[in-house]
Amino acid sequence: MGFLLIAPGCTKKCPGRTVVSCPSVQNTMTTGGRIKIPRPNIFLDLEKVATGSYLSGSVRGIKWSPTGSHLTFLKTGDRGLTELWAYNVSSRNISPLVKSASLVQRVHETESEKASRERKRIAERGIVSYFWAPDGKSILFPLSGDLYLYTLATGKARRLTNDKDPEIDPTFSPDGSHMAWVKKGNLQILNIRSGKVTPLTKGATKTRFFGLSEFVAQEEMDRYRGYWWAPDGKRIAYLDVDESKVRVRKRLDVDAEAFRVSSQRYPSVATPNALVKVAVVTLASKKSVYMMLPGYEYIPRVKWVNSAEVSVQTQNRQQTILKLNVCDPRKGACRVIHTERDSKWVELHKDLYFIDGGRRLLWSTENYPLNFGGSSIGSGKLARTLVLATRTQKGRLLAPHPIPMMSGYTFHRLLAVDEKQQIIYFSAFGDMGRSNHLFSYTYGTLPTPQSRAWSGVQYPNSNTSGLRIITGALRFNRFTISPDKKTFLETTSDIQTDTQLIIKNMGGSQLAVLPQIRPMDPIVSRLPRPSFVSIPLSDKNGTALNGLLFSPRPYASSSVKYPAIIFVYGGPHGHMVRRQSSKYNLWSQYLAERGFYVLHVDGRGGLYRDRQFAKAPHKDFGSFEVIDSEMAARYMSKLPRVDESRIGIWGWSYGGYAVLAALSGTRNVFRAGFAVAPPTDWTLYDTHYTERYLGTGGKSSAPYKKSLIDSARLRKLSAPLMVVHGMSDDNVLLINSLRIIKKMQDIKHPFEMMLYPGKAHSLWGNSTRVHLISQLTAFFINHLSPPSFTP
């Protein structure tokens, strides 16, 4: 579906183009006719670029079996459905275990399953999740609303359930004797031996449910589960979620053949959130006890300390306070053992691990040094530090020991703990966040805990004797450590190399390379290699932004200059410039082949640098990213073969917002902008994300007023703009773009638009992606006039 938008006073329609602008507008933005240059020897195919088929076959959901005998993962197979595959470590054979197409003729998804895929940004359908039985002999997976159990010994999958109501979030009990799931809003368990299903909760309604995560937890907290088994399998902690006070938001989902009005309880800025409580049910008695937590707004994490204690992390609405509570599941009594405070916001993490049955714990903090267990704001400069703390018999935390870090690295994530060998395994960013590495630290070398609060300690800990880097190559990696902590899987790639799955021992030596599902097309390695660049900011701290520069082939004489395109995401957590292959790299190679310089740039807000860099977005949306984008344009304008009068910018989601903000900046450095699914009014977005950065004041407060893309900002636009949006987007609602369209029409400013019927925020689908990239390319060719190729 396309819309033909003609600038006021223009009556001529350009043939052969789905979306056009008035030629008179185009001519003001270019430097004249297009120069002819020779066609390159390598020319990327649009469809292969858009669908990612040039890249090696991707896999996800990688897991070790509990015994370490197999590595399992999901990949796309027949009819575009995901399949479950396995690598046998001893035989080194790789093969499919279950093909979705062999079990069902047609995959039917419930609304909850569709929503879950969108929350997790999963494009494929079929088997999208699975769970190993604790004994490693079988695998449980949902498909088309029912559950199946695959047995390794027989090589067959059998159907466990067969009714219209789906079993959501199924799991095994720790001993494998039971399964749990949520059905029709209530938590249930299945006795595998007897086949008896027992409800553990009752009273679910349309606005109240048990054992499921609420919307903002899935979308913003990286918490997709709503219940947790105790280690001994005798109790389950679960969430009681009441959405009755959450406002109902209606949105129009438009497909090519029909439309429907969808109603969703959506907590937008300055409106009520869901009321979430934590309860623990004892399986033997079926009785639930509610945890008596002190005042809070959010529950981002729940984790069992041991079978007798459960930890619950709580946040205030402003997200400036994060409390670590430990609760008695029998009585519901809770105590706060640690409080993190930050005047801007406290970043959530998953770096909590209880050692020695809960006597000690690992925790990552942005506020180090600090008096651990206290409530004072820390003064740490690093983005995050991993610390080890000890609990007293009364539950008080003693002063922590920081886990040391090598110079030039930033802690990323706790991966595993080998308690027998007293070794911690974690990943850390190096190379200014462009690569990451696996580290180990032997915590048995730490001194005996002190009996008093630890104050005045300076980072870093000088005791680095137990610290070791296991992987050192400048690549971007993901690590999956085996259950016995003797081997790990390294999923690794560089910007133009195949993604490889390599099994290594904990010393870093290679043991095996998994066969590739589909090798990368050799054409990719022959493409001009992009270069990593450093983009200086004009601040007193000498801050520099990471960039990845794709260059056109210089076929024409040195006097010929080329247009440039800045690709941004920006905002909090933005992190695109990494040493790994990606579809976006191919998209930019495709544009470079057509005569553009393309620069990927990571603005401030990423967590891979220091604290000041990470916290830059605080109450400053619509300002700091404009500066970062303009600095990127200034960098490009200084390259000898870039025409500074022909620099464009494009981005998706927050990147789309950054495009609109940059085009309405005061310097007018951009000559065209392409914005995909842009949030334009942050009061329309959800509470947990938006209020974290802009506060709880709502539309009347200064941060929201400053961030708004309103008519005053749009009047500053002098460059052509194209707005793209999915017409069933339940993340950044279509109304964001519709408001921009109406304002642009009101001020009589020409623009271009493309809407995708039935598509959500991610615009999944091969034909959709092909069309999107063709529109992106045509738009910038039209407005920036790169050289054209001779026949």
At 475-492, the pLDDT tens digits run 999 999 999 999 999 999
CA distance 108 to 145: 7
Q: Which of 99-108, 247-256, 333-342, 589-598 has the lowest mean pLDDT?
A: 99-108
Choose among 260, 211, 257, 212: nearest CA to 238: 211
**What is the dihedral sign for C-alpha 412, 417, 418, 421?**
positive
pLDDT band at 654 (very low <50, low <70, confident <90, very high): very high
Mean pLDDT of 609-632: 92
Q: What is the pLDDT of residue 334?
A: 97
Report yes or no: 720 and 663 within 8 Å, Cβ to Cβ: no
CB distance 349 to 377 below 8 Å: no
pLDDT for residue 23: 33
Query: Where does the pLDDT of residue 227 fall: very low under 50, low under 70, confident under 90, or very high at 90 and above?
Result: very high
Amino acid 555: pLDDT: 61
Contact 658, 629 (CB under 8 A): yes
626 CB-contact burial (10 Å; exposed 0-12 / middle 13-18 / buried 19+):
buried
Write the burial class of residue 206 (CB in 10 Å: 0-12 exposed, 13-18 middle, 19+ buried).
Answer: exposed
> At residue 280, does pLDDT exceed 70?
yes
At 100, which helix (H) or strand (E)? helix 100-103
Taking the C-alpha atoms of residue 692 and residue 289, their distance in angstroms, rounded to an integer, is 31
Residue 250: which residues within 8 A CB-CB, separation 6 or more? 261, 262, 263, 264
CB 542 within 8 A of CB 536: yes
Q: What are phi and psi of 698, to 5 degrees?
A: 75, -165
* Helices 583-593 and 766-784, packing angle to 10 deg: 40
Residue 773 has φ and ψ, to the nearest 5°, of -70, -35
pLDDT interval class at 379 (50, 70, 90) = very low
Q: Give every strand in the sheet of 353-355, ordered side by side.
A: 353-355, 360-365, 385-390, 401-402
What single DSSP character describes residue 444? G
Higher-scoring residue by pLDDT: 679, 144: 679
Does 157 have pLDDT greater than 90? yes
Longest dimension (CA), the chain: 83
pLDDT of res. 114: 62
Q: What pLDDT, on a 0 to 100 scale, did the predictor assign at position 119? A: 58
| Most confident segment among 113-127, 460-474, 525-539 | 525-539
How does residue 459 score in pLDDT terms, banded at 50, 70 and 90? very low
Given pLDDT bands bounded at 50, 70 and 90, which one contains residue 11? very low
- The residues spanned by each domain of the chain are 23-52+521-789, 349-472
Q: What is the mean pLDDT of the chain?
A: 87
Three-state DSSP state, 682: helix
- Residue 78: pLDDT band (50, 70, 90) is low
- 3-class SS of residue 586: helix
Distances (CA, A) of 176 to 149, 173, 227, 273, 658: 13, 5, 16, 36, 49
Using 50, 70 and 90 to split pLDDT, how confident is the model at 51?
confident
Nearest of 585, 590, 669 to residue 634 by alpha carbon? 669
Query: Residue type for 398, please?
Result: L
Q: Is the pLDDT of residue 25 over 70?
A: no
Q: In this model, does residue 673 exceed pLDDT 60?
A: yes
pLDDT at 292: 99
Q: How confident is the model at residue 116 (pLDDT cuts 50, 70, 90)?
A: low
Residue 556: which pLDDT band, with cuts at 50, 70 and 90?
A: low
Residues whose CB is less than 8 angstroms from the CB of residue 406 and which lie 6 or more positions away in sequence, other chains included = 428, 439, 464, 467, 469
Segment 396-405, tens digit of pLDDT: 788 788 898 8
Whether 38 shows a pLDDT value over 70: the answer reads no
* Residues above pLDDT 70, as percent of the chain: 86
Q: Is the CATH code 3.40.50.2000 the one for domain 23-52+521-789?
A: no
Distances in Å between the Cα of 680 and the Cα atoms of 5, 395, 621 are 21, 47, 11
Evaluate if residue 122 carries a pLDDT over 80.
no
Beta partners for residue 512, in sequence order: 503
What is the per-residue pLDDT across 685-744, written as a single tens digit (0 to 9) for each? 999 999 999 999 999 999 999 999 999 999 999 899 999 999 999 889 999 999 999 999
What is the distance between the terminal CA atoms of the chain, rounded to a whole angstrom? 31
Neighbours of 138 (CB within 10 A): 20
Q: Tell me, what's the pLDDT at 117?
A: 58
Distance (Å, rounded) from C-alpha 130 to C-alpha 138?
Answer: 10
pLDDT-derived band at 144, boundaries 50, 70, 90: confident
Average pLDDT, stretch 556-584?
89
Q: What is the token pair recorded at 502?
A: 């390599």
Asked if the bond preceding 40 is cis, omega within 30° of 0, the reply is: no
Alpha carbon separation from 508 to 435, 437, 470, 504 (Å, rounded)? 17, 11, 5, 6
Euclidean distance between CA atoms 288 and 329, whole angstroms: 9
For 489-538, write each residue's pLDDT tens digit: 999 989 888 888 999 999 999 999 998 777 888 888 888 999 999 999 87
Q: Which helix (H) or strand (E) holds 662?
A: helix 654-663
CA distances from 719 to 156, 749, 752 (A): 60, 10, 11
pLDDT at 22 over 90: no
Radius of gyration of the CA atoms of the chain, in A = 27
Q: Does pLDDT of 451 surpass 80?
A: no
- Taking 70 as the threshold, does the pLDDT of residue 468 lie above it? yes
pLDDT-derived band at 606 (thresholds 50, 70, 90) equals: confident
* Residue of 408 and 32 predicted with greater confidence: 408
Least confident of 59-63, 129-133, 285-289, 376-380: 376-380
Tell me what the mean pLDDT of segment 536-542 comes to: 73
- Residue 190: is its pLDDT beyond 70? yes
Q: Is the pLDDT of residue 339 over 70?
A: yes
pLDDT at residue number 457: 36
Q: 24 versus 603: which is more confidently predicted?
A: 603
State yes or no: pLDDT of 622 exceeds 90: yes
Q: Give the model's pLDDT for residue 29.
A: 34
User: Has residue 449 got a pLDDT over 70?
Assistant: no
Please enumerate in sequence order all residues whose Cβ is within 8 A of that of 115, keeping only pairs 6 or more positions apart, or say none.
730
Neighbours of 367 (CB within 10 A): 20
